[in-house]
Structure 1
Amino acid sequence: MRVLERLKPLTLMGLIAMGIVAQTNPLQAQPTKVLTVAGGCFWCVESDFEGVPGVIEAVSGYTGGTIENPTYKDVTRGGSGHYEAVQIIFDPAKVSRERLLEMFFRSVDPTDGGGQFCDRGESYRTAVFVSNKAEEALASRVKAAAQKVLRQEIVTPVLPAKTFYEAEDYHQDYYKGESLVFTRFGPKRQAEAYKRYRQACGRDARVAQLWGDAAPFASGH
C-alpha cells in the first residue's frame, strides 16, 4: 500500500507533464495562415479586419513593387510599383480564407482601378496577392462570385505574391493610436484623426452604396 501511495504523486506529476507537452507541442496547434490584400488606405483595411473573429493580427505594409525596403514616401509618390497592403494573419480553424476574401471584396470599391475613394494613384489600387495555384483559384472564384452579385466589372487583380515590407511603426494600429498628430481638422489624437479622415474620404458611404447590407464594415464606422 505504501508503495502505491508513493506512486500516486509521481503518476499525477507525469500526467501533468504530459498535458503541458500536449498543449505546447506545435504539432497539436493549428498553424496560422496569411492573406495579403491591398484595399486603398492600409489604416482602414487593418482597422476592418482586426475586428473579425479568427483574425489574430493585421499588419500594414507595402508589396507588389520593385524597390527594396520602401518608405511611405517612396510608395505614395508613385513609380515604385508598390501597393499599400495589409497582411491578415488568421486562424483557419475560426475563419476561412474564402470568408476573408468575400469580406475583402465587399469592403472596397473593386470597380475602381485608379485608387480608392479620395486616395488616388497606383499605391491605393486594390489587389489580392496569392502564393500558389490553390490560393489563385480560390481568389479568382470569390472574385467572380462577387462580380456576379455586384453586376459590375471587378478590376481588382489577383497577383503573385512578392516580398511584403512592413510599414513604419507609426502606421501600425494607427486607427487606435493615442499620439497627437496635426491634421486639417487641427491637432487630434490618432484615433480621432483616423475617424475624421475615413469619414471625409467617403469610404463607408461608397462601400454601402455598392454593396448595401452585404458590406461587412461600412455600417460600423
Structure 2
Amino acid sequence: MQHDFWHQKWQKNEIGFHLPEANPLLVAHLFSLNLKHGSRVFLPLCGKTLDIAWLLAQGYRVVGAELSEIAIQELFKNIGLIPTISQLGEVTHYSTLNLDMFVGDIFHVSPDMLGRVDAVYDRAALVALPAEMRKDYATHLMALTYPAPQLLVCFEYDQALQAGPPFSIGADEVKQYYQTSYDLTLLASVGVAGGLKGKCAATEHVWHMKPLHSV
C-alpha cells in the first residue's frame, strides 16, 4: 500500500474524502444486504467515517481496517468511546463493545484476527487503491470475509481529467475481480453533485454482491 501518501494526508488533515454525515448511499441501500440486528459489518480502509457511528446506532456491530492511527484515534474520540488497545503482530487492535478496529496494512490482517463478519461495506477501499493493487486487494478481501455479501460503492469518471484517488472503476473491472464468486447487481448510479473534487463529471455506482457459494 501507499503508506506514506495516506499517512501524510491524515497528518496534514487533507481528508476531503471524509464526509460530514453518513453516506446517503449506505443509508439508502444497506437494506439490500438483509442483515439481522446485531450483524457484524466490515469496513475496509474505513478512516473515521461517520458511517461507523450510523451503523452502530442501527444496532449493528462494526469492524474496520485502517492504515492511519490518527484516523482511528479521532474516530473513538468522536464517538466518545475509550478502546482497549493491543498489538497483534504488525497490526494494532482497538476494541470496545460492538466496535473493533485494526490499524495497519490491511494485507497484514488475517481471517483469525478479523473473525466472522456478516457483510462488507466497501465505500473507500477499492477506489483508494491504484490499478496494480486492486486485484490483490479483492482476493485478500474475499479470503477475509467470504461468503459474506458486499455493498460496494465505486466512482466512474474520465481518469484522464482527474488523478485519483478515488480512482475510476467501471463495471468491467468490478466483474473482473468479483463475478466468479458473486452474483453482481447494480443497485444505483448517481451523479456526483458538482463533479468529482469540483473538476470533472462523475458517477457513483452501488453494487450488491451476493456470494455464489457458501463455505
TM-score by length of 2: 0.26
Greater fraction of residues in strand: 2
Higher RCO structure (Cα 8 Å, ≥6 apart): 1
TM-score by length of 1: 0.26
